[in-house]
Amino acid sequence: MEIKRRIKVLVVDDSAMVRKTITDTLSLDPEIEVVGVANDPLIAKEKVARLQPDVMTLDMEMPRMDGLTYLRQLQSERSVVAVVVISSITQKGSQLALEAMDAGACEVLAKPDGSTSVGTLAAKLTFHVKAAHAAKQRFRHSPKAAATPAVSFGKTNQDGVQARPGDRRLVVVGASTGGVEALRALLPALPAGLPPILVVQHIPAFFSKAVAERINALAEYEVREAVDNELILPGQCLIAPGNYHLMVVAHSGGYRTRLTQSPPVHHCRPAVDLLFRSAAAAARRHCLGVLLTGMGSDGALGMQAIREAGGINLTEHEDSCVIYGMPRAAVQLGVVDKTVTLDRMPQTILDTLSSLPA
């Protein structure tokens, strides 16, 4: 039997404690091998050339060269190393993390500090390292995907889609690895005046606000973080805050939000399944579920609940997914009505909304 090669990881951070924490955590997984550490990007450059890691964990603020500058250099060199950014969860750190994703980072995690424990990081780290490795492998071996990094959307037909008084239609969207870029392409391509859209993206605390603000600047309608117990209105998109589950509850003929910090689901908080299940219970046959790129199976059981309640489910096609994990799990469960590539998703959402009972 062929022995699977372990994922080689280089840990880059100027904090000795963080380097040890990451190394110790990753070394517990038999599928991962930490091949080296570096306390700044200049040392990392030499070790990348010598050790040929598959994945690098990268701090943003370091001496001699910051992580963002180094990441941009890696991108210009067409490096095959997948990068997981581990950033402080301050607002400044969130902006840097967003720029890091623009520069090619696969994942962003919160750096352990007074408010984010080492244990919280450890629970997610191996999952995200594997996801980053899988994403890089996909684009390395898929000329089609590598050749078309930008998504082009045609003009959408909006007939019969605009929300009207008493409209019960609701759109719920879930995504993980690659989802930030997918959402930044998809949401601005949708017109204003639609039924409300709720989004769960696997994301660290505070980073979700920066993502929402970036998308809001591009969209024709309001996009922002959700707050607890607010009325969900047509013509807006609410994104789950990092570290909070987002759910929907029926209220006086409409819907309200519910945010909780109940235990993670699928190692994630927020979790797509909790949003989808609550939307199925509240909106029933008025619900449209959309599942985008991501590793794992979060969202599949939620889509099953939407299907059983009479709603409709769409998933992103493998051809445009960074990671075809979450959509695949829903397809394999037999609860998906239609699968389309990301460039066709805006019009498919509108077409599906026009067929849902208001």
Average pLDDT over residues 1-17: 84
- Beta-strand runs (E) in the chain: 7-12, 32-38, 55-58, 82-87, 107-110, 170-175, 197-201, 222-225, 236-239, 245-251, 254-260, 287-291, 312-316, 338-340
Q: Name the packing angle between helices 16-27 and 118-140 (round to 10°).
A: 70
For the question of residue 298 being annotated catalytic, the response is: yes
Task: Map residue 210 onto helix, strand or coil.
Answer: helix
What is the domain partition of the chain in residue ranges?
Answer: 7-145, 170-355
Which member of 87, 88, 94, 176 is catalytic? 176
For the question of residue 176 being annotated catalytic, the response is: yes
Token pair belonging to 109:
């995690």
- Output the DSSP codes for 295-320: SS-TTHHHHHHHHHTT-EEEEE-TTT
| In the predicted structure, residue 108 carries a pLDDT above the cut 60 | yes
Which member of 128, 133, 202, 286 is catalytic? 202
Q: What is the pLDDT of residues 135-186, one digit of tens each?
A: 887 755 444 443 334 454 554 566 668 888 889 999 999 999 999 999 999 9
Fold of 7-145: Rossmann fold (3.40.50)
Q: What is the pLDDT of residues 212-245, one digit of tens each?
A: 999 999 999 999 999 999 999 999 999 999 889 9
N residues, the chain? 358
For the question of residue 202 being annotated catalytic, the response is: yes
Distance CA 285, CA 267 (A): 29
pLDDT value at position 9?
A: 97
Q: What is the pLDDT of residues 182-194, one digit of tens each?
A: 999 999 999 999 9
Same topology for domains 7-145 and 170-355, yes or no?
Answer: yes
Among 151, 107, 270, CA closest to 201: 270
pLDDT value at position 60?
A: 87
pLDDT value at position 156?
A: 59
Which member of 54, 59, 298, 343 is catalytic? 298
Token pair belonging to 17:
């404690």
Contacts of 23 (CB under 8 A, 6+ apart): 11, 34, 37
Q: Is 49 exposed, middle or buried (0-12, 13-18, 19+ CB in 10 A)?
A: exposed
pLDDT value at position 102?
A: 86
Distance CA 100, CA 316 (A): 24
Residue with tokens 């029926």: 250
Average pLDDT over residues 71-75: 91
Please give the DSSP secondary-structure letter assigned to residue 284.
G
Distance CA 55, CA 134 (A): 10
Q: Is the dihedral of CA 240, 243, 245, 251 positive or negative?
A: negative
| In the predicted structure, residue 306 carries a pLDDT above the cut 90 | yes
At residue 202, what is the residue type? H
Task: Map residue 161 onto helix, strand or coil.
Answer: coil
The architecture (CATH level 2) of 170-355 comes to 3-Layer(aba) Sandwich (3.40)
| In the predicted structure, residue 130 carries a pLDDT above the cut 50 | yes
